[in-house]
Amino acid sequence: MDNRFILRSADAGVLTLTMNRPDVLNSCNRGMVTELRQAFEGAGTDTTVRAVLLTGAGRAFCAGQDLAEAVPPAGTPAPDIGDIVTGYNGLILAMRRLEKPVVAAVNGVAAGAGANIALAADFVIASAEASFIQAFIKIGLIPDNGGTFFLPRLVGLARANSLAMLGGKLTAQQAKDWGMIHDVAPGDGLMEAAAALARHLATQPTRALGLIKRAFNASMGSDLETQLSLEAKLQREAGRSADHTEGVRAFQDKRAPSYTGR
C-alpha cells in the first residue's frame, strides 16, 4: 500500500508507523488520518503483526489537526469540522478495536488531536523533552479524538478539567506522575525503550493481550455483573488458545515459554 504521509516498517512482529510531516510538526491532514486508520485496520488481519509502534518524524509527535487544512485562506470554503472529527473517530476506533498492543513513542510535543491519538494507545512512553497539550481550548474547541473519554478516566475529573479548560502544557514527567502515561525515557533512549517494549509484547500471548484490551474497552461502560460474565466468556476463548497450553507446559517443564500468537 502506498503511503504519502506516514512511514511503515516491520520487524520481529512489530509494525512501526511514523507520522511523517515534520515541517508542520506532523499535524494531521485528512490523508494522514486515513493512512493511519488503514494501517491499524490492516494490522488486525496481518498475522505477522503482533504489536504496533506509533511515533512521529522530527522533533514532534503530532501537533494535532493541520490548521491550514481546517481553516483555509479567506475566500476558500472551510471544511465542515464535524466531518473532520468523524475521520479521526475512525482512527481512534481502529486503534482501540485492534486486538494487538499499541505502543506510542511520544518523541516531542503532542498537541490537540496528537495528544489524544497518543492516549488511545495501550502504552505511552514519552521522551523526557516531550509534552502534552490539550490545545483545543486555545482555538475555541473541545477535546476530541476521545479526549473527553480518556482524560477523566486516566487522570480524574479535576485534572481533566485543568488540562482541557486551561490548555496548559503537561511535561512528560508530570504526565507519568499523574498516571496518564506508562513511562518516560531520556530523549536519546526513547526509541530504543519503546521498541524494546513493542518487541517484548510481540513475543507474548497475542490472543490474551487482545482479549485484555477487549475486556478493558468494555469495562469503561459496564457494571460488575456484566463485566464478570464477559471475563468468563473471554477466559474461555483465551483458555482455548495454543499460547495458553504453551504457557502451562512451559511452567511445568520449568522452561521459558515460546508463544506463537495463536
Q: Which residues lie near ligand T3D (CB under 6 A)?
A: 24-25, 27, 63-68, 70, 81, 84-85, 109, 111-113, 133, 135-136, 138-139, 141, 144
* Least distance CB 131 / ligand T3D (angstroms): 8
Cβ nearer to ligand T3D, comparing 141 with 196: 141
* Least distance CB 113 / ligand T3D (angstroms): 3
Q: Exposed e or buried b for every residue in 160-178, given b needs 16+ CB within 10 A?
A: beebbeebeebebebbbee
* Least distance CB 215 / ligand T3D (angstroms): 29
The CA-atom distances, in angstroms, between 179 and each of 146, 175, 232, 234 are 17, 6, 29, 27
Q: Which residues pair with 123 in a beta bridge?
A: 103
Cβ nearer to ligand T3D, comparing 89 with 203: 89
Cβ nearer to ligand T3D, comparing 109 with 208: 109
Listed in sequence order, the residues at least 6 apart from 229 whose beta carbon sits closer than 8 Å to its beta carbon are none
Cβ nearer to ligand T3D, comparing 16 with 26: 26
Edge-to-edge strand order for the sheet containing 6-11? 6-11, 14-19, 51-56, 102-106, 123-127, 183-185
First-to-last C-alpha distance (Å) of the chain: 26
Q: To 10 degrees, the CA torsion angle through 261, 97, 212, 199?
A: 50
* Least distance CB 61 / ligand T3D (angstroms): 10
Give residue 62's Cα distance to chain centre.
Answer: 12
C-alpha cell at 235: 477466559
C-alpha cell at 47: 498475522
Place of cell 502544557: 169
Cβ nearer to ligand T3D, comparing 81 with 166: 81
Contact 117, 136 (CB under 8 A): no
Cβ nearer to ligand T3D, comparing 168 with 257: 168
